[in-house]
Each structure stands twice: as C-alpha cells, then as structure tokens.
C-alpha cells in the first residue's frame, strides 16, 4: 500500500525523470506518503499488499493516491460505496477537507451524506437533469423524492416489515446444513485474514455476514468458492469436502457467487450475458424475466449501457442460469439508489425459493429484515451470531461491532456506564 501512494507522490513531482529516481532515498517524498496514509487512516496497513485490502480500504487508498496528484479538480465516483458508517464519516471529513483546496465533483448515492457535505447538488434520472441547486432545495424537490428515494426498505412501515418476517418463518424450520465452515484459516499471499472461522448455512436459509471493513467478510465467500488460500480448517458443501478444491469443481456442485462489482461482459447484451451462463437444469431466460421484469425490457441493451441496479440484476440472474443450491451475494446493494434497492431486495427474498443465500453487506439495516440468521466478524473471527431479529433489536451491539449508532447520546451513556 505504501508503495502505491509513494509512486503517486513521485509522479506528482515536476522535476524531470522523477519517476526513475529511487523514491526510498527521498525523505520528503516518504514523509508526504506517510502523511497521506495518515490522513485516510491507513498507516497501520501501510505494509499490506493491495490484493489483501478490503473494499473499504481500497477506497481509502484511492483517495490517498488522488491526494498525491495535487490536482485542482477531483472527480470522486462513489467514494462511500461499500463503507461502514464509521468509515463513511472518515471519508466525508476527507472530502470536506479536500473542498478547502480543490474543486470537488462527487457522485454518490448516500443522499444523507451528500446533503450534509455538498454546496450544490445536481440530480440525474434516466439521463436527464431533474434538479439542481442548494441541498435544502433539492431535498424537497418532488421529482427527486419520487425518482431517487422511491419506497425503500428503510421507509417500510413496521407492520409490513413484521409481516415479511412472519411470512419467512411460515416457510418452516431450515433443513440440513448445506455449507459448513469449520475452524478456517485463510487469506492471501501468506497473510491470514480468517483466523478460526466457524459458519453454517442451512437449506432454505438467508444468512447475513456483517462486520467492519477488513474483517474478512468477502474473504469468507472467496474461501468457500475456492479463490482464497486456505491454510487450515475444512469447508463442506452439500456433503462434499471442498477444502482447497478448484472453483469450477465447487461451482458444478451448486455453489455460486455474485461478486462485488458485477463483472458482466460489457459488450454483450443482457440476453447474451444470460445465455452465455446457461447450463442444463438452470433457470430459463423466461424465468429470469419473471424474477426481474425490468430485464425483459432491456434484453437487447449492452451491459455497459445499463444502470448499476440493472447490472446487479443481471449478475444475480446469471448465476441462476446454472443449477445453484446456494448463492453468495457480495455487497449486492452497493452503489444503488434506494428505489432500485427495493427491487433487488424483493428479488433476493424470492431467491430463497430456488437456493439458500448468504449476503455480505455493509448496510446491516438493509439485510436484517430479509435474513434468518446473522454472523458478525471481528478480525477474522465470529464475534457475534444470533437470529437477525435479535440483532435488529440490539442497538448497543450494532454500535459496538458495526459502527451503527442509534440515538448516539443514549448509546454512549449506556456504553460508558456498562
């Protein structure tokens, strides 16, 4: 990580052949590199390789590299996407500090944060500018409320959320263990990310894996699908020991993953992306269009021209085109407007009719209402496991382990007197 920032600092030097000089011998460049890492809270991770960084840490590193360029205009594309609340506060403060020295154009779906830190806001919907002005004016604009906010999970009445949980419970007791992870140690390049992890996914369940950035959530999914390096422990899927087995073998058994970032073929249409993933006994294209009606209208559109929400729908649909007993979703709601999130949430609920589901998501309040059980990771270990309903009611645990603060003053008082 240090070297990435140091190279950016060197590149910003105006002297000739600056990139060809030995940066390790430049005290000034090294000092600036440490200063930038400190500004984004990454000093303790300076020696880590980039491939071992969590998504949130990658975002912070990208900001540090941007700061090193000494540019006059900074374009920040979704800098808060994938970050827990505590990290969002850090990045928001950094953006405010940047605005003291740079012109900043920020593209972001976290409307509350945007309203708090922006001087002027422009809102685009389906390629058209529907509002432009001061934050207070834009927040009250009828078209913005309708187009952007929609009717997200966060605004659902309590009665409706309760009925959703009751309907889930009526499906019956989950079946036998489908995916079992025992005492797992795994990571990348010799670095241990998961340190003695134990986790179970039963048939018919939706399980959420939560935690702050860098605790091993995505690594858990990568280990289960044969991507991360496993040092010890065991992974059993559908009765088969898949520890250190190749990804294609695990996938053929019926364990599929929707990775963060979607990873579609941009030059292929929606229909072509789906057909390319089709396997015998998997979902048909017609089944997919019923699950995601929006995709039926966009079937001839190239993936590169889809919205973020539409790309996520295609990514989920693509794994269903092959037979899947369990689906692992890595940050499925990242970068999506709340109105689109609701569509994806509805689809995830319907997924349980086809497969068991594990969701890695930094927004706990987004996934708890649709989950049966939850695991919270801290430093590669399970620090908390319970029903999703129990964690949803436990605001103090949410604040302690996830950085989610409800009624901040009250929680601080409770924590200090405990």
**For the domain that residue 188 is a member of, what is the CATH number?**
3.40.50.300
| Mean per-residue pLDDT, 60-64 | 85
Among 113, 148, 183, the domain-final residue is: 148
Spatial distance between the Cα atoms of 223 and 245, rounded to a whole number of angstroms: 10
CB 123 within 8 A of CB 129: yes
Radius of gyration for the chain, computed over Cα atoms and rounded to the nearest angstrom: 22
Q: Is residue 47 part of a domain?
A: yes
Question: In angstroms, rounded to a whole number, what is the distance separating the alpha carbons of residues 251 and 255?
Answer: 5
Helix (H) / strand (E) element for 230: namely strand 229-237
pLDDT attached to residue 59:
79
* CA–CA distance, 109 with 132 (Å, rounded to integer): 16
Q: What pLDDT score does 288 carry?
A: 92
What is the rounded CA–CA span in Å between residue 113 and residue 80?
9
Tell me what the pLDDT averaged over the chain comes to.
82
Q: What share of the chain has pLDDT > 90, as a percent? A: 35
For residues 255-278, give the mean pLDDT. Answer: 90
**Domain closes at, from 123, 148, 173:** 148
In this structure, are residues 171 and 323 in contact, taking their beta carbons and an 8 Å threshold? no
Q: Are both 372 and 401 inside the same structural domain?
A: yes
Tell me if 141 sits within 8 A of 131, measured CB to CB.
Answer: yes
- Write out the H or E segment, with its range, that includes residue 209: strand 206-211
Which pLDDT score is estimated for 159?
37
Q: Which of 107-121, 234-248, 251-265, 335-349 has the highest mean pLDDT?
A: 234-248
> Residue 231, class by beta-carbon neighbours within 10 Å (0-12 exposed, 13-18 middle, 19+ buried)?
middle
**Are both 325 and 403 inside the same structural domain?**
yes
Could you tell me if 132 and 164 lie in one domain? no
| Last residue in a domain, options 95, 120, 148 | 148
Residues 73 and 110 in one domain: yes
Domain containing 356: what range?
159-417
**3 state DSSP class of 173:** coil
Check if the beta carbon of residue 366 is closer than 8 Å to that of residue 341.
yes
The residue with greater pLDDT, 223 or 116, is 223
Is the domain of 141 the same as that of 169?
no
pLDDT for the residue 81:
67
My answer on whether 140 and 198 are in the same domain is no
Task: Note whether 79 and 108 are within 8 A (CB).
Answer: yes
* Residue 172: count of CB within 10 angstroms of its CB: 8
Q: What is the pLDDT of residue 262?
A: 74
pLDDT at residue 414 greater than cutoff 80: no
pLDDT at 146: 67
pLDDT digits (tens, 9 = 90+) for 116-167: 899 999 988 767 899 999 998 988 888 877 665 444 334 343 334 444 444 4
What is the reported pLDDT for 193? 86
| pLDDT band at residue 379 using 50, 70 and 90 as cut-offs | confident
User: ∠161-165-166 over CA atoms, to 5°?
Assistant: 115
For residues 256-260, give the mean pLDDT: 89
- What is the count of structural domains for the chain? 2
Minimum mean pLDDT range among 56-70, 161-175, 327-341: 161-175
Task: Decide which of 143 and 21 is more confident.
Answer: 143
| 347: number of Cβ within 10 Å | 17
Compute the distance between CA of residue 98 and CA of residue 271 in angstroms, rounded to an integer.
43
Mean pLDDT of 350-367: 85
For 45-71, what is the mean pLDDT?
82
Question: Is residue 154 one of the residues assigned to a domain?
Answer: no
In the prediction, which pLDDT does 224 show?
96
Residue 153 within a domain: no
The bridge status of strand 229-237 relative to strand 103-107 is unpaired
- 75-98 pLDDT per residue, tens: 888 787 656 566 777 788 888 888
What is the predicted pLDDT for the residue at 21? 61
* 319 and 387 housed in the same domain: yes
CA distance 369 to 161: 7
Per-residue model confidence as pLDDT tens digits over 292-302: 888 999 999 99
Give the model confidence (pLDDT) of 191-211 as tens digits: 788 989 999 999 989 999 998
Antiparallel, parallel or unpaired: β 191-202 and 121-125: unpaired
- Tell me how far the alpha carbon of residue 33 is from its chain's centroid: 28
């Amino acid at each position: 990580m240090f070297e990435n920032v140091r190279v950016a600092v060197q590149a910003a030097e105006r002297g000739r052949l600056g990139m060809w000089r030995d940066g390790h011998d430049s005290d000034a460049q090294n000092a600036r590199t440490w200063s930038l890492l400190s500004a984004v809270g990454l000093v303790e991770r300076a020696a880590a390789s980039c491939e071992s960084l969590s998504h949130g840490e990658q975002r912070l590193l990208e900001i540090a590299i941007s700061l090193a360029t000494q540019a006059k205009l900074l374009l920040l594309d979704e800098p808060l996407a994938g970050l827990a609340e505590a990290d969002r506060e850090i990045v928001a403060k950094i953006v405010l500090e940047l605005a003291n020295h740079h012109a900043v154009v920020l593209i972001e779906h976290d409307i509350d944060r945007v309203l708090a830190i922006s001087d002027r806001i422009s809102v685009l919907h389906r390629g058209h500018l529907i509002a432009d002005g001061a934050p207070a004016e834009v927040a009250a604009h009828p078209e913005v409320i309708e187009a952007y906010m929609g009717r997200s999970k966060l605004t659902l009445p309590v009665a409706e959320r309760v009925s959703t949980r009751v309907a889930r419970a009526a499906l019956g007791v989950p079946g036998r263990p489908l995916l079992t992870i025992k005492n797992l140690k795994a990571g990348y390049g010799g670095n241990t990310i998961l340190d003695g992890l134990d986790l179970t996914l039963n048939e018919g369940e939706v399980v959420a894996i939560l935690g702050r950035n860098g605790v091993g959530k995505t690594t858990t999914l990568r280990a289960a699908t044969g991507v991360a390096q496993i040092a010890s422990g065991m992974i059993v899927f559908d009765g088969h020991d898949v520890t250190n087995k190749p990804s294609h073998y695990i996938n053929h058994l019926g364990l599929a993953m929707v990775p963060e970032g979607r990873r579609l073929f941009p030059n292929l249409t929606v229909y072509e992306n789906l057909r390319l993933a089709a396997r015998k006994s998997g979902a048909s294209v017609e089944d997919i269009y019923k699950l995601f009606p929006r995709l039926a209208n966009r079937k001839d559109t190239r993936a590169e021209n889809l919205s973020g929400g539409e790309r996520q729908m295609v990514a989920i649909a693509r794994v269903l085109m092959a037979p899947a007993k369990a689906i692992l979703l890595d940050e499925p709601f990242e970068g999506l407007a709340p109105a689109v999130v609701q569509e994806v949430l509805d689809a995830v609920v319907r997924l349980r009719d086809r497969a068991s589901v594990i969701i890695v998501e930094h927004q706990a309040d987004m996934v708890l209402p649709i989950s049966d059980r939850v695991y919270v990771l801290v430093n590669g270990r399970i620090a908390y496991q319970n029903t999703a309903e129990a964690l949803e009611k436990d605001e103090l645990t949410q604040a302690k382990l996830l950085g989610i603060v409800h009624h901040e003053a009250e929680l601080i008082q409770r924590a200090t007197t405990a």
